[in-house]
Structure 1
Amino acid sequence: MSTPTQHRPDFAQGFSFLGHTDQGGRPDGCQVMVDRGFAYVAHAFSGGFSVIDVRDPRQPVLTGFVPAPPGTWSVHLQTADDLLLVVNAKDLFQDAAFTREDDYYGRSVGDAALRAERGYAAGLRVFDIATPGSPREIAFLPVEGVGLHRLWYTGGRWAYASALLDGYSDYIFVTIDLADPTRPELVGRWALPGMHQAGGESPTWDDTRWRYGLHHAIVHGDTAYASWRDGGLTLLDVADRSAPRLISARNWSDPFGGGTHTALPLPGRDLLVVADEGIADHAADGVKHTWVFDIRNPANPTSISTFPQPAEDDFVAKGGHFGPHNLHENRPGSFQSETLVFATYQNAGLRAYDLTDPYRPELVAGWVPPAPARMVDTRPGRPQVIQSFDVLVDAEGVAYMTDYNAGLYVLQYEG
């Protein structure tokens, strides 16, 4: 299928265009899940999530929108076992304390975020999606604090989240019991030493320069692979979900600029792929990397290579953020591979990497959307360039890619 002129990519190799939607006039997209022919897209600025019929990926159709409570973010979500889990947290982009990007990315956010009155919902919303595309709320788990940021849930009893709770300097790791999905319960927590202010701890890092806070963890078996932004990487033993314990920790934020965002285990090969997020325009925080770790000894994760950087354009000069953001996370039922990794690279679009030789990763495909037709990002001074956010690839190699302003792109991987 030819690409319509308005969606003609700036670069295309190994992907073909299938479809696009502006999500009913809400083109801001964060995390995307696809479940039985319906895409659930969280929003950064539109306050809620959208439901899109993608049974024909060439003609995505908006079928619903579920608003978040006033003042509330619903930026991440997960689907499994006929459930849709949606985070609720204070919308920090509406907070005057976070009008500049560096206010959000460049320091611990707990104190500033909690100073304001609590006109927002904080916790986890649970929806029944036994009827595909028709979410029905069945539970809400409230937490005291800013709320939840990102989740990991692939079915069964346990979900995992990053949570900014009262008494902590930033987001920490928590476990959630869904034995009864109508009565979710927060049962376990783990934080980096120095984060538990209410427990008398104080940071051992410069918290005016570095942001130590959990983005999220991916859990395989009894191990949680957790990314702590400027606090680096931890492997946690979660065999006892009520009491996670540390296996190992690594932090390369100095000299490499921090922003550790996603840690994807490739358990059949004892490898871990770790993406550091670019968090400043024109790579002012340094050009970030996606790292490959050997984790044969979980107590000693060892970096063995980095992904090659997209180089068909000068992405640093292009403006906006350049560098890794999210990885396709090999969820059950989706495209699963331990040699092919899909990643969004913000102003460099979507990328696919071949890890057949983990010491020499190869860039094998890329697709860079055109500039967004309009800006819905409410933050002042944001450049009108693509900022590809999240990607989910289904079992047939169809990639669903979101953007802060440009809607949902549906692409076919041709490799």
Structure 2
Amino acid sequence: MVRKKWVQSVLVSVLVFSLVIPQVLGHDELGDINLEKGERTNFDDITVPLLEGSKNLKFLNEVAAPEMEIVREDGLENSYADVYAHKGYAYVGTHTRNGGNGGVRVFDLKDPANPVEVAVFANNDFPLTWQEKVIVKSVNTPYFNGDLAVVSIQQLDRTHPDSKGGFLLYDVTNPIEPQKLGFWEIAKNTRGTHELYLTMRGNQAIVLAASPYTDYFTHGEQRDFQIVDVSDPSNPKTVWQFDPRTLPEVDESFDGYYWDSPDGKVRPLFNHSTMADVTGKYAYISMWDLGTLIFDIQDPVNPIYLGRTEFASEQQGSAHSSTIAKGGTILIETREVYAPVRDGYEEAYGYTRIFDIKDKSNPSLLSEFKTDLTYDIPDENNVTLAKTVHNPQVRGNTLYLSYYAGGIIAVDITDASNPTEIARYTPESAYVWGVFIDRNYILASDIRSGLKVLLKNNSQED
């Protein structure tokens, strides 16, 4: 099949290049486009102008931006990735700058205006890897009772004999002294686990793992989406994996990376991100151009596929991340489109879509939220992550979006069919990766400068 041979040549060429200069695959190869958000080492080349207004807008004020001290023995600094918070501590992942291995940085937020770095972990487990995503939850199983951290591990150089991909498990019941418990390994020839989520089902702890391109690189022996039982963190076990071919609209057209969409287009299909609702009953899986897939995971060994979001024929899919709102009846889907000019598609950077999912078998589109960056497309040099939406978080009726050069954008979703921007935080040279709501604070992570703590001026709840 011509298409399959072409895809293979593209992906293999990237892998061959990675043998010389360690790097990671882009989220969507788009043929000859390979853009990875963390590959640049000089962030001064971001050309998106600072948006009008100050970084203190309406109810968002920056109260802390701690200097990220260099903690590596070689004296080099990493770039930064996602942010999470648990019991008054912030956990900041690291990206690929200077060869990765930056681990997870832990900050005490007892005084949110003066965060204190108290620990670093998962930084010396495997060479030439990066630790982007960390989720921390209180876990109570027959094998472990405490606070458990799961950390994604991705490989910069799969040829290194000691490099591995997957995710690490750490006991952070005492965040000042994290203790390694176990490791779940994906196939050696894959990228590793990109994003993940930890949830509880009764007395069972499970991880939803997103390991992009695993279907392709292992020829279906392992899958992009896997459910792993981590009830015993020292002995994680894969209990289920998803084969996209089980869906009638995919079937045998899926070659491990592309599929023949019902709209007549050949679209990329891989698992980028995972999450679960607070009950642990439902999982929301971002499968790029297949949309956001919804599963009933009450029995993690036998999940039930319920439905998915779909795209208009002129839309690039790029389902990147998701979150839910209004008691699980609303789904927020962010789309990371960084190549806005493609034949057969609308010209736009990635924006947010909001769905009614009262009937999870049939998500219904309510609205689309776009910004001034969405259609700001220059004739040249228009491939950039700086203008696309990235990650979503919801607190009450407020949606918070990390937006790279747009910083953090707060959106009123009281009327989900009419989302309205209500505040924006855009620091100088913004390149904001992640956002997380912690008590009355909004945490942000900037790829270049690390942790930011934002305060809502008013103390009222959303």
CA distance in 2 between partners of 1:281 and 1:287 (Å):
5
Q: What are the superposed Cα offsets for residues 124-177 of structure 1, whole Å, 9 maximum, x if unpaired?
A: 211111112321101112222422111111455222111254334996221111
SS at match of 1:148: coil
Task: Give the match for residue 227 of structure 2.
Answer: 175
Task: Give the corresponding residue for 1:353.
Answer: 411
Alignment partner, residue 296 of structure 1? 358
Other structure's SS at 1:299 match: coil
Q: Secondary structure at the match of 2:314?
A: helix
The equivalent of 2:29 in structure 1 is none
After TM superposition, give the deviation of residue 35 of structure 1 in Å.
Answer: 2.1
Give the Cα–Cα distance (whole angstroms) in 2 for the partners of residues 86 and 279 of structure 1: 26
DSSP 3-state at the match of 1:193: helix
The 3 A distance-change label for structure 1 pair 79 and 327 is same
Is 1:163 matched with 2:211? yes
Q: Would the alpha carbon gap of residues 292 and 200 (structure 1) be closer, same or farther in structure 2, given more than 3 Å must change?
A: closer
Runs of 4+ in 1 over 6 A off after TM superposition: 281-285
Deviates more, 1:155-164 or 1:74-83: 155-164
CA distance, structure 1, for counterparts of residue 300 and residue 283 of structure 2 = 11
Computed over aligned residues only, the root mean square deviation of the Cα atoms, in angstroms, reads 3.2
Contact 2:259–2:268 (8 Å) recurs in 1: no
CA deviation after TM superposition for structure 1 residue 281, in Å? 8.2
TM-superposition CA deviations, 1:332-385 (whole Å, max 9, x none):
xxxx42x111111111010111111111111111100101xxxxxxxxxxxxxx
Q: What are the residue-to-residue correspondences of 1:265-280 with 2, within 5 Å?
A: 265-266=324-325, 268=327, 270-280=329-339
Contact 2:107–2:118 (CA under 8 A) maintained in structure 1: yes
Q: CA deviation at 1:315?
A: 5.8
Instruction: State whether residues 308 and 362 of structure 1, in contact with CA within 8 Å, keep that contact through their aligned partners in structure 2.
Output: no
Check whether the contact 1:282–1:321 (CA below 8 A) recurs between aligned residues.
Answer: no
Aligned CA distance change for structure 1 residues 224 and 280 (closer, same or farther; 3 Å): same
TM-score, normalised with respect to structure 1: 0.77
* Aligned length, in residue pairs: 360
| Equivalent residue for 1:258, pick from 308, 317, 327 | 317
Deviation of residue 41 (structure 1)? 0.9
Q: Write the letter of the residue equivalent to 2:398.
A: L
Aligned residues of 2:227 and 2:241 also touching (Cα < 8 A): yes
Amino acid at match of 1:86: V
Query: Partners of 1:192 and 1:399 in 2: how far apart?
Result: 36
Ranges in structure 1 where 5+ consecutive residues have no aligned partner: 1-7, 96-113, 331-335, 372-385
- Cα distance, 1:117 vs structure 2: 5.8
Say which of 225, 228, 244 aligns to 1:192: 244
Distance 1:57 1:240 in 2: 39
2:317 and 2:375 mapped to 1: Cα distance? 22
Question: Could you tell me the TM-score, scaled by structure 2's length?
Answer: 0.70
Give the C-alpha shift of residue 27 in structure 1: 6.0
| 2:431 is the alignment partner of 1:387 | yes
Equivalent residue number for residue 391 of structure 2: 326
Q: Which has the higher contact order (CA 8 A, sep 6+)?
A: 1
**What is the rounded CA distance, in whole Å, between the counterparts of 1:167 and 1:41 in structure 2?**
34
Match of 1:12 in 2: 56
Flag the 1:314–1:58 CA change in 2: closer, same or farther, 3 A.
farther
User: Match for 1:343 among 398, 401, 404?
Assistant: 401
User: In 2, Cα distance between the equivalents of 1:403 and 1:170?
Assistant: 33
1:14-413 alignment runs, 5 A limit:
14-25=59-70, 26=77, 28-45=79-96, 46-47=100-101, 48-66=103-121, 67-68=123-124, 69-81=126-138, 82-91=147-156, 116=159, 119-145=162-188, 146=190, 147-155=192-200, 157-164=205-212, 165=214, 166-168=218-220, 172-193=224-245, 202=255, 203-205=258-260, 210-220=267-277, 221=279, 222-252=281-311, 254-266=313-325, 268=327, 270-280=329-339, 286-310=348-372, 316=377, 320-328=385-393, 336-337=395-396, 339-371=397-429, 386-396=430-440, 398-413=441-456
**Identical residues among aligned pairs (%):** 21
CA distance in 1, matches of 2:408, 2:245: 35
Give me the whole-angstrom Cα distance separating, in 1, the residues matched to 2:446 and 2:225.
26
In structure 2, give the amino acid aligned to 1:15: L
SS of structure 2 residue aligned to 1:366: strand
Return the alpha-carbon distance in structure 2 between the equivalents of residues 414 and 191 of structure 1: 47
Query: How far apart, CA to CA, are the structure 1 residues paired with 2:377 and 2:132?
Result: 26
C-alpha distance in 1 between matches for 2:362 and 2:456: 35
